[in-house]
Structure 1
Amino acid sequence: MISKKFKLFGAAVAVSCMALTAGCSGDKANGSGGGDENVSVVLKTLSSPYWKYVEAGAKAAGKKHGVNVNVVGPNAESEVMQQVNMIEDQLSQSPGAIVVAPSQPETVAPSLENAVKSKVPVLLIDSNADFKGKTTFIGTENFTAGQEGGKLLASMLKKGDKVVLIQGALGNPATDERIKGAEEALKKAGMEVVSKQPADSDKTKAMSVMENILEKNEDVKGVFSANDDMALGALRAVKAKNLDVKIIGTDGTEEAVKSILDGGLAGTIAQSPYNMGYKGVENALKAIKGKKVKNRIDSGIDIITKDNAEEKLEFLKKISK
């Protein structure tokens, strides 16, 4: 039986009924809360559904608490230097606080350390970074999320089955940790990992990677992907060969949940992106006002399968409006 101890939507549903500012495409999205405080939010990208949910949560918190929220992100998660430049640009505008989802923590750390020295509270979401003076980290343990994904996949297979791991951009700590967690769980359950390949969190690349893997391993029975876009790309390759392969993604995007309902993906591990954005801005305001902020805030995870996918899809549609 799937564990129910991880809950994504409990806290989020409580805020989902709030009026949300419409999401924006491109690399910049302004959300005015009509207040005096300004919070900058720099994400890994704004080009994928996952980060759109983070953006929606951040802007909902801005509207609720009267905070002006400016959300920006690179064209792709691999554009690390573009993210660094965006952080520097946001800091030059003297925000009250900055919320960052670092693509490569060690690369952005110097800019964030400078922010701390300038008395700007720095809150991290999704991926943590080790530097002195950060206010908090809001997110889930990516290793644990991967572990749950590995356990879920193993529960659908039998001991000795061959499985594949689809990685994100190498060096991205979030996706790297998800893969480590999944690999540990799958091997512990007796699965044989026959391939582990990066696809840079890109659907098209993942399809190509999976096609190449299947040329040598048509007897693969399962796939764990470090994000949903790659899971959906791998699904295309599997469908093209009419194979029965269980595929588990990560992120809980609307497209992935629809795929589960349509009999495509077998499941996804959701990491509460909406909550990350919401709690990021909410706690940024606390920091600006000098209130105490916990140094670690768990935003929760949820395991989505066909059993609960309809409920999750309804929630995602609400926050996407």
Structure 2
Amino acid sequence: MKKLKLFGGAVVISCLALIAGCTGDEEGSGGDSSEESVAVVLKTLSSPYWKYVEAGAEAAGKDLGVDVTVVGPSAESQVIEQVNMLEDQVSQSPGAIVVAPSQPDTIIPVMENASQSLPVLLVDSDADFEGKTTFIGTENYTAGQEAGKLLASMLQEGDKVVLIAGALGNPSTDERIKGAREVLEEAGLEVVAEQAADSDRTKAMSVMENIFEKNSDIKGVFAANDDMALGALRAVEAKGSDTKVIGTDGTQEAVESILNENLAGTIAQSPYQMGYQGVENALKTIEGEDIEERIDAGIDIITKENAQEQLEFLNSISK
């Protein structure tokens, strides 16, 4: 979609005086067309995972000639801050908006309102509302199941395990925990605790320390993101335990920890692709193209065997 700008009365007068020359210049240059704009509102910009999403969105903007603005609150738990940021971006009338909703029930009214005037695409976390253009992301329930399978493969029937969830009401982390719990229980493992740590490393360490006080023989931990997994790992290491810790997201620090034989593994999403495909498909909708209603960004199971390859990829996309 092309937009032409009119640069004041002087240009109009000049064109009336020299209409043939002005018309020729306009047709030949194409320099007056403006970039399309896409706003991207993420759950936060304070963690490595969301930095990868941001990097993908910005790379797409550069490759496709799109003016991309990426914003996010100070933490995933700051839901109202995200709502305010979304309202602010909508008020600036971008061509489309890409959102990773932290708490869909809270933010759906704003997204519904926005969808009346522009395409609204969701990444990472889905939400059900009329007017949604598409969802691009990981099937989080499946990611949790794969994490459960990986952890179960390292343990024995009857072993005690712990689940560390994200912020309450966060659909992505909730679905991961649900999938992991199902597989772990089916494998005969005992889930002795499930606690939220708001996707925060320090909180996860504290949560794990408290769990250890009541259950000293924990054999495995699944954390719904890598920051929490690394926090739980600190508590495990401080205790001198051989507890296996599995995370989710596939961040660089988590992959390095796996290579150092600290974290046992992570379920890697494709945050860079989510960001890239979010902007790419936003541009398609602006230009009137049809896109799929659901786009699966896929997952990878990262252990020591393939961690080096994953690290090299992450290094290639890091700013």
Instruction: Name the TM-score, length of structure 2 as normaliser.
Output: 0.89
Partner of 2:55: 56
Aligned length: 287
Partner of 1:28: none
What are the within-5 Å matches in structure 2 for residues 292-311 of structure 1?
292-311=290-309
Unaligned ranges ≥5, structure 2: 1-32
For residue 221 of structure 1, give the secondary structure of its aligned residue in structure 2.
strand
Q: Confirm or deny that 1:104 pairs with 2:106.
A: no
For residue 294 of structure 1, give the secondary structure of its aligned residue in structure 2.
coil
Partner of 1:113: 112
Q: Confirm or deny that 1:41 pairs with 2:37.
A: no
Q: Deviations over 1:36-90 (max 9, x none)?
A: 1000000000000000000000011111111010000000000101101101100
Unaligned ranges ≥5, structure 1: 1-33
Partner of 1:280: 278
Q: Distance in 1 between matches of 2:165 and 2:295?
A: 26
8 Å Cα contact 1:50-1:251 kept in structure 2? yes
Partner of 2:223: 225
The structure number with the bigger radius of gyration is 2
CA-atom RMSD in angstroms: 0.9
Letter of the 2:137 counterpart: G
Partner of 2:288: 290
Partner of 1:194: 192
What are the within-5 Å matches in structure 2 for residues 171-182 of structure 1?
171-182=169-180
Partner of 2:18: none
Q: Distance in 2 between matches of 1:156 and 1:35?
A: 55
Q: Deviations over 1:128-157 (max 9, x none)?
A: 111111110001111110010000000011
Letter of the 2:56 counterpart: G
Q: 1:215 to 1:98 in 2, by over 3 A?
A: same
Q: 1:160 to 1:117 in 2, by over 3 A?
A: same
Instruction: Name the TM-score, length of structure 1 as normaliser.
Output: 0.88
- How far apart are residue 35 of structure 1 and its match? 5.8
What are the within-5 Å matches in structure 2 for residues 127-146 of structure 1?
127-146=125-144
- How far apart are residue 117 of structure 1 and its match? 1.1
Partner of 1:5: none
For residue 244 of structure 1, give the secondary structure of its aligned residue in structure 2.
coil
Partner of 1:89: 88
Q: Confirm or deny that 1:269 pairs with 2:267.
A: yes
Q: Distance in 1 between matches of 2:63 and 2:298?
A: 21
Q: Distance in 1 between matches of 2:220 and 2:169?
A: 24
Q: 1:35 to 1:157 in 2, by over 3 A?
A: farther
Q: Distance in 2 between matches of 1:202 and 1:184?
A: 24
- How far apart are residue 318 of structure 1 and its match? 1.1
Q: 1:155 to 1:35 in 2, by over 3 A?
A: farther
Q: Distance in 2 between matches of 1:187 and 1:101?
A: 30
8 Å Cα contact 1:42-1:83 kept in structure 2? yes
8 Å Cα contact 1:126-1:174 kept in structure 2? yes
Partner of 1:246: 244
Question: Greater relative contact order: 1 or 2 (C-alpha under 8 angstroms, separation 6 or more)?
Answer: 1
Q: Distance in 2 between matches of 1:315 and 1:202?
A: 25
Q: Of residues 147, 156, 161 in structure 1, which corresponds to 2:145?
A: 147
Question: Alignment identity in percent?
Answer: 75
Q: Deviations over 1:1-54 (max 9, x none)?
A: xxxxxxxxxxxxxxxxxxxxxxxxxxxxxxxxx961000000000000000000
For residue 248 of structure 2, give the secondary structure of its aligned residue in structure 1.
strand
**4+ long deviations beyond 3 Å:** none
Q: Which moved more, 1:34-43 or 1:242-251?
A: 34-43
Q: Distance in 1 between matches of 2:245 and 2:131?
A: 40
For residue 205 of structure 2, give the secondary structure of its aligned residue in structure 1.
helix
Q: Distance in 2 between matches of 1:320 and 1:207?
A: 27
Q: Distance in 1 between matches of 2:278 and 2:58?
A: 10
8 Å Cα contact 1:221-1:245 kept in structure 2? yes
Q: Distance in 2 between matches of 1:36 and 1:238?
A: 51
Q: Distance in 2 between matches of 1:116 and 1:300?
A: 26
Q: Distance in 2 between matches of 1:196 and 1:84?
A: 28
Letter of the 1:208 counterpart: S
Q: Deviations over 1:246-294 (max 9, x none)?
A: 0000000000000000111000001110110000000000000000111
Partner of 1:126: 124
For residue 108 of structure 1, give the secondary structure of its aligned residue in structure 2.
helix
Letter of the 1:189 counterpart: A
8 Å Cα contact 1:35-1:67 kept in structure 2? no
Q: Distance in 1 between matches of 2:207 and 2:129?
A: 35
